[in-house]
Amino acid sequence: MIATAIEAGTNILDVTATVAPWLLIGLALGAVVQVLIPTHRLRQWLGGSGVAPVARAAVIGAPLPLCSCGAIPTALSLHRGGGSRGASTAFLVGTPGIGIDSVVLTWVLMGPFMAVSRVVGAVATAIATGLAVGRVPPAVPATVGEAGCASGCTGSTDHAEYAPDPGPVRHMGRVMLRLIDDIGTWLIIGLILAGLMITFVPPGSLAAWGSGLLAMVVLALVGIPLYVCATAATPVAAAMLIAGVSPGAVLVFLIAGPVTSLATLLVLRRELGTPAAGVYLGSIVVAALMVGLVVDGVVALGGLEPAAMAGAAREIWPEWVERAAAGVMLTLIIVPARRAVRRAGHWAWSVARGGRRVRT
């Protein structure tokens, strides 16, 4: 029992160290993208009707590192600011489905094939869902006061909330910290689950069960009610792939889980009506299953082995870099630790300036 617990702890720490440098890089890139694309600019790009604004919404939303609840305020702002129903919905699906940070982690943990498949699948699902919802007759919109997230959201992530600071580096740093606060808890849970799966589910043990349409439907039904961001879902999906779940079924989980949650459905129902919410949910499930079946077909025809590609990029960083990055990442995620470091920094700065105390 003790040996198993030690092994599980070691696996959790190994997964954390592996993803830490890449996650920090991905979050930094995501903060840059989010700062450079303000909401008013998105409204201009997503206006009009037809396929073009829906496709633009899916593609533009893809690199933004927002979870499903985090994307709600921006999507509603786009809709009420003139964006079409289809484009707003495509943004609401495409934005939490992937992000720069989650794509980087997918490449690191599962290889380039799964990373590319995840991007293409998420964008295709967003476009299909946006086009489907766009055909539903409009409902009476909710008042501004009614729109918001259910429990579990960490707050609005509307780009207007990030008012420019005197220094751009400080501005982007604050955005990065907000993103870490949004995903931190679920990222830790995802890393723990991934480590436990690696410990207790031997490689290849799920190969018989984890393939085919039934497995995809089960993973879609499991993923949809959960509130899990794309980044936090990635280590869990990587453990599934190693355990023998088919690449297509893994992608169904990665698409269906992050793009929606009960909070998203409730807000969408208030904003666009019950029929639109039903079409939204049904379209996500159907599109995700189609993506899964296509990916498994490509893997079978091409003789690919995505599980063998998993972890191909792990040896890029020296071990000390991974450990240092893991320490930084955990310090940033654990808010009390982050505050303690900040207080220590203020104290050191006050000592350096002659012993004058600085209020923290």
d(CA 262, CA 258) in angstroms, rounded, equals: 11
| Lowest model confidence (mean pLDDT) among 20-29, 162-171, 324-333 | 162-171
Residue-level pLDDT at 293 = 94
Give 304's contacts (C-beta < 8 A, 6+ positions apart): 113, 298
In the chain, the amino acid numbered 27 is L
For residue range 195-225, list pLDDT tens digits in order. Answer: 787 777 666 556 667 778 888 988 888 777 6
* Structure-model confidence comparison of residues 95 and 282, the more confident one: 282
Residue-level pLDDT at 125 = 93
% of the chain beyond a pLDDT of 70: 69
Categorize the per-residue pLDDT at 338 as very low, low, confident or very high, splitting at 50, 70 and 90.
low
* Structure-model confidence comparison of residues 19 and 237, the more confident one: 237
Categorize the per-residue pLDDT at 232 as very low, low, confident or very high, splitting at 50, 70 and 90.
confident
Q: Among residues 172, 328, 310, which one has the least CA distance to residue 244?
A: 310
Q: Among residues 53, 24, 32, which one has the least CA distance to residue 159?
A: 32
Which span out of 117-126, 156-165, 339-348 was modeled with the highest average pLDDT?
117-126
pTM tops 0.75: no
| Lowest model confidence (mean pLDDT) among 156-160, 194-198, 200-204, 283-287 | 156-160
- Number of neighbours of residue 66 by Cβ within 10 angstroms: 26
Mean pLDDT of 270-279: 84
* Structure-model confidence comparison of residues 356 and 229, the more confident one: 229
Categorize the per-residue pLDDT at 333 as very low, low, confident or very high, splitting at 50, 70 and 90.
confident
Which span out of 33-37, 231-235, 312-316 was modeled with the highest average pLDDT?
231-235
Contact between 287 and 125 under an 8 Å Cβ cutoff? The reply is: yes
Mean pLDDT of 291-299: 93
Q: What is the 3 state secondary structure string of 296-329?
A: HHHHHHHCCCHHHHCCCCHHHCCHHHHHHHHHHH
Give 340's contacts (C-beta < 8 A, 6+ positions apart): none
Mean pLDDT of 250-256: 90
For residue range 56-92, list pLDDT tens digits in order. Answer: 888 887 877 666 556 766 677 677 666 778 888 888 8
Does residue 7 have a pLDDT over 70?
Answer: yes
Which DSSP state fits 149? -
Give 137's contacts (C-beta < 8 A, 6+ positions apart): 275
d(CA 319, CA 308) in angstroms, rounded, equals: 22
* Structure-model confidence comparison of residues 268 and 205, the more confident one: 268
Half-sphere exposure of 160 (CA within 13 A, CB side): 10
Categorize the per-residue pLDDT at 38 as very low, low, confident or very high, splitting at 50, 70 and 90.
low
Residue-level pLDDT at 287 = 93
Q: Among residues 107, 134, 115, 114, which one has the least CA distance to residue 51?
A: 134
Does residue 169 have a pLDDT over 50?
Answer: yes
**CA end-to-end span of the chain:** 45
d(CA 233, CA 254) in angstroms, rounded, equals: 7
Q: Which two tokens stand for residue 79?
A: 């809709």
| Lowest model confidence (mean pLDDT) among 14-18, 154-158, 304-308 | 154-158
> What is the crossing angle of helices 247-259 and 112-134, to 10°?
50
Categorize the per-residue pLDDT at 237 as very low, low, confident or very high, splitting at 50, 70 and 90.
confident
Contact between 99 and 242 under an 8 Å Cβ cutoff? The reply is: no
Which DSSP state fits 315? G
d(CA 305, CA 299) in angstroms, rounded, equals: 7
d(CA 71, CA 355) in angstroms, rounded, equals: 45
